[in-house]
Structures are given as structure tokens and as C-alpha cells.
Structure 1
Amino acid sequence: MSILKGVGVALVTPFNEDLSVDFESLTKLVEYNIENGTNYLVVLGTTAEAATLSSEEKKQVVEHIIKVNNKRLPLVLGIGGNNTLEVKQQIEETDLSDFEAVLSVSPYYNKPNQEGLYQHYKVLASTGKNIIIYNVPSRTGQNVEAETTLRLSNEFPNLFLIKEASPNMLQYFDILRKKPEGFNLVSGDDEYTLPVTLAGGNGVISVIGQGYPKEFSTMVQLAFDKKVDEAYEIH
């Protein structure tokens, strides 16, 4: 899905001193990223502290961002967990009409083997929704290996993208080299953004990019244009 290309920003959830969601600051953050070149926004990703938001807070955050964004940028919604059937149910029951895709982190704590990871995403693919695989082994305790990602991407077209945050750069390159047409990879690690994009990736889903959207989006576009020296000046 070429619309999810460039710099996607995984929005944080700002809070007030009383621990309520700071919607005024959230509005400013969304506007700042729209005005400064961010290509799409990720709502309720792990960076948003979604795991510690209440159901009502999640609902309010989603509704607020949809309203503020007003269809100006594509949106991605984070729905993940280690209970496969519950994640599937959440995806099926959520109104995704304002979202291009769901970003779903691989199961954490359970530490499934590669076949278990395959079966997890196979179940999510059965929803028919556009799903972004999210591999972040430093957080989940288990790596989605390149072979598993490629197996999934070849069998399920709606698993169309991976946010790859393995510490092993060779894994990124292996996926990029062997991936089927229509599947792509974005860096899930800010520091790997430039080399991954130059190697053929679709950019990054970034954390720090929300603080420096103009610099990040310019750097990634220069990488797409193969203006390597100029891109590295920003990097």
C-alpha cells in the first residue's frame, strides 16, 4: 500500500499533571506533524502507552485524533496483544473506516516459536483487514525471523507491510531482497531509517520523528530520490 510510505509517526499520548489525557497538547502534536511533512500517523501504537490506557481513554484518543486530522493524513491504528483470538475479535469489532491499516505487534511474554508466530498472524489475516506486522524483539522477547515474515507475506496479501525493529540489519536486508511484489518493510528503529530506506524500504514508523518531522521527512525523501550525501547530512 504505497500510501503508507515515507515517515509515519507513532504518536505519544500526552498527559496532564492529574494523569488525564492532555487533549490540547495532543491537538498541537497532530497539527505540528501535519504542517511539517509527516506522511501518516499511527494511533494507539505502543509509543502511545496503549497498554496502560483505559478503554475509555483509548476511545477518546482515537476519536480526538480522527477529528483533528480531518482526513488530511492517512491513519494507522494499533491493535495488538498476546491473546490471538482476542486481538482478532478487536480487529473485527473496531470501526476501521478512518484507518488504512492495523499495526499489530507480535505476541509478547508467551514467546511463541516461529510456527506459533505464523499461526498468530494467519488468524489476524483471516479478518480480511490490512495488517502491518510489527516485530520488536527487544519488547516482546521473541524475534519474528525473516523466513517467517516472508512465509506470511507470500501467503496472505493483506499482511502487506512489516514494521521491522530487529537489531539485526541483515534481517532487514534479507526481507527486502526476497519479499514478494506488493509487500514492503519500514524501519521500526529511528537510527536505521536511512540505511533501510536506501536499501529499498518504505521509510520508517518513527518515535523521534514527531519532534523533528520536517527533518525526518526531508531525509527520507532524499533517500527515496537516491540523494545519499544530502540525506546523510541530515542523518
Structure 2
Amino acid sequence: MDTKRLRGLGVAMVTPFNLDYTIDYTAIDKLIEFLIGNGVNFLVVQGTTAETATLSDSERRKLADYIVSKVNGRVPLVLGIGGNDTKKVIDIYSKFNLDGFDAVLSVTPYYNKPTQKGIYLHFKTIAENTDLPIVLYNVPGRTGVNMTAETTLKLAHEYKGKIIAVKEASGNLNQMGYILRDRPNNFLVLSGDDGLTLPQIAMGADGVISVLGNCAPAQFSRMIKHALEGNFEEAAKIHLSLIELIDLLFAEGNPGGVKAALNALGLIENVLRLPLAPVSEATFEKIKNIITKL
């Protein structure tokens, strides 16, 4: 694929639920139109923000097919498929209908805490047993293990054209800097931290896979567009107007904050599946006040 299609603002979509905790497909329709209509460049389906860990296999397959049909090729789609059992990840790939998806997002194995050799072999095995391009996802705050720049670059060079990008959510600017410096041509480096996106684009990053983009897509897409065009003065103004909201979205965990924001916008019910729970009333009111102003 043309990797440039995954530049700019990618949004890690939430999964809206009804009050009875079933998937709310009507809200999904509204959310898709809201995002595409406000400048999102691509969508990521069934990432962490989608509460994928609480979805059954049948729900995942039905939801993926539904989003493909509703998006209907208007923006690129990335499907999250990862795990801490390499064989099981490959098995999941084999059971999904991947038609309509442009790439997959695959997180580093969590809980097991593999070595760098284990991480490398995990993604090597996946790359050799799947067809779609792969976006690596490094998020040590959730997985308990950091994928180093050396490991990322080794995979990027050895599987050039197959492993096409990394979502780097370590928060380590030096680590991202090494990846940016030594990456192969056409390998994308995407931020995984909304609050760091502007400085990371200034370093050479290609965009972001965002939580904030769910509820402030117009503002955040403008910020990223300005930054990618080198207009950092305008980008900084928008960035500074969003920093309080970014903090609040993560104050009581993700996706509790962004679901509160989307509820305040009238797009979804404020429902999460256990063990996640909605944010406190105090945090909800703060988020609602800021969202209303935006």
C-alpha cells in the first residue's frame, strides 16, 4: 500500500455500547460520520480504546465487517490484532475477513514481558504468516515491556514494505528520535501520545493514532495539518487550546474520559464494560464544560 495514506490524524475509535452493554450500532454510524466529516485521515478499529479485550470473537468479526461497510472506502481502515500468544494472534488473522482493511495494528506482547529477542521473533512470525501490512504498536505503560528503537528498526529494515509503520507510545522522545533518524524510506512513525504529537511531528513524525481525535477531530486534524506543513505557530495555538482536555481524557483512564466527552456531545451513551467504569461526576463535568466551549 501507499504508506502516505496513513499520514495525519488516525483515530482509535471507541466502541459505543447501549445501556444493556450490547454494541450500539446506531451510535457507531453517528461516530463514523462525525469523524470523517471533521477531517480524520484514517480510522483504527479495535485498538485499546475500543475496549477490544471485552469483545467476544463473534462481536469483533461482526463489528469489523459493519465498520467496513459503513466507511465504504472513504478513508483507510486499520484493524487492531495483537496479543501475547503469537500462535493465537496468527489464528485470529486467519479467522477475520480482512477485506476493506488497509493494514493491521499489532501491539507488543503484554504481561509475558518478553525480551527484545522475543518481541522481534513475535513480529517476525506474524509478518511471515499474514498478508496485510503491519503497524507495530509500542505502549510500555500498558504492556509492561518497551520495544527499543533497535528492535523497531531491525523489523522495519528486514520487513520493508510489510512492516510499514510504528505507533510509538513510549513517551520517550529520544527513542522516537533514533527511529526517525534511521528508519527506511516510506516507513511511518506515528505518535501514540496526543499531548506529544506536536513536538514529535516537529522531529519528523508522520502523524498520530489518537484518542482525542474521537471527540475533537476538527481541531486536532487542523493542528496536525498545520504541523505537517511546517506552520508551527498556528499548530501551537491549537495544541495549547487542547492540553487541558487531553489531561482530562486520561485523568481516570482511557477510554473512560473520551467516552464521557462523546456522551457530552450527544454521540454515545456513557457506558463501558467491566472492569472499566465511567469517570467520576466531577471529571465528567470538567470534560463537558471544555467540550461545550470547543
TM-score w.r.t. the length of structure 1 is 0.97
Provide the rounded CA distance (Å) in 2 between the counterparts of 1:22 and 1:128. Answer: 31
CA contact (8 A) 2:171 2:196 kept: no
Hey, what does 1:104 align to over in structure 2? 106
Unmatched tracts of structure 2, length 5 or more: 240-294
Hey, what does 2:74 align to over in structure 1? 72
Matched, 1:146 2:149: yes
Provide the rounded CA distance (Å) in 1 between the counterparts of 2:42 and 2:6. Answer: 7
Matched, 1:174 2:178: yes
Hey, what does 1:193 align to over in structure 2? 197
Larger Cα-atom Rg: 2
Q: Which amino acid aligns with 1:100?
A: D
Paired residue for 1:217, among 221, 244, 265? 221
4+ residue runs over 6 A deviation: none
Q: Which amino acid aligns with 2:188?
A: N
For the aligned residues, what is the CA RMSD?
1.0
Hey, what does 1:85 align to over in structure 2? 87
Higher helix content, 1 or 2? 2
Hey, what does 2:139 align to over in structure 1? 136
Provide the rounded CA distance (Å) in 2 between the counterparts of 1:8 and 1:193. Answer: 12
Determine what percentage of the aligned residue pairs are the same residue: 49
SS at match of 2:5: coil
Q: Which amino acid aligns with 1:176?
A: L
Matched, 1:37 2:50: no
CA contact (8 A) 2:84 2:110 kept: yes
Provide the rounded CA distance (Å) in 1 between the counterparts of 2:90 and 2:72. Answer: 27
Provide the rounded CA distance (Å) in 2 between the counterparts of 1:129 and 1:15. Answer: 29
Paired residue for 1:51, among 33, 50, 53? 53
Hey, what does 1:121 align to over in structure 2? 123
Matched, 1:207 2:200: no
- Offset at residue 199 of structure 1 (A): 1.3
SS at match of 1:82: coil
Provide the rounded CA distance (Å) in 2 between the counterparts of 1:80 and 1:230. Answer: 37
SS at match of 1:96: coil
Provide the rounded CA distance (Å) in 2 between the counterparts of 1:132 and 1:88. Answer: 15
CA contact (8 A) 2:38 2:217 kept: yes
TM-score w.r.t. the length of structure 2 is 0.78
- Offset at residue 33 of structure 1 (A): 0.3
Deviations 1:112-165 (A, max 9, x none): 000000000100110242001000000000000001001111101111100000
Provide the rounded CA distance (Å) in 2 between the counterparts of 1:70 and 1:160. Answer: 23
Deviations 1:184-204 (A, max 9, x none): 210011111111112111100
Number of matched pairs = 235
SS at match of 1:3: helix
Provide the rounded CA distance (Å) in 1 between the counterparts of 2:145 and 2:133. Answer: 23
Unmatched tracts of structure 1, length 5 or more: none
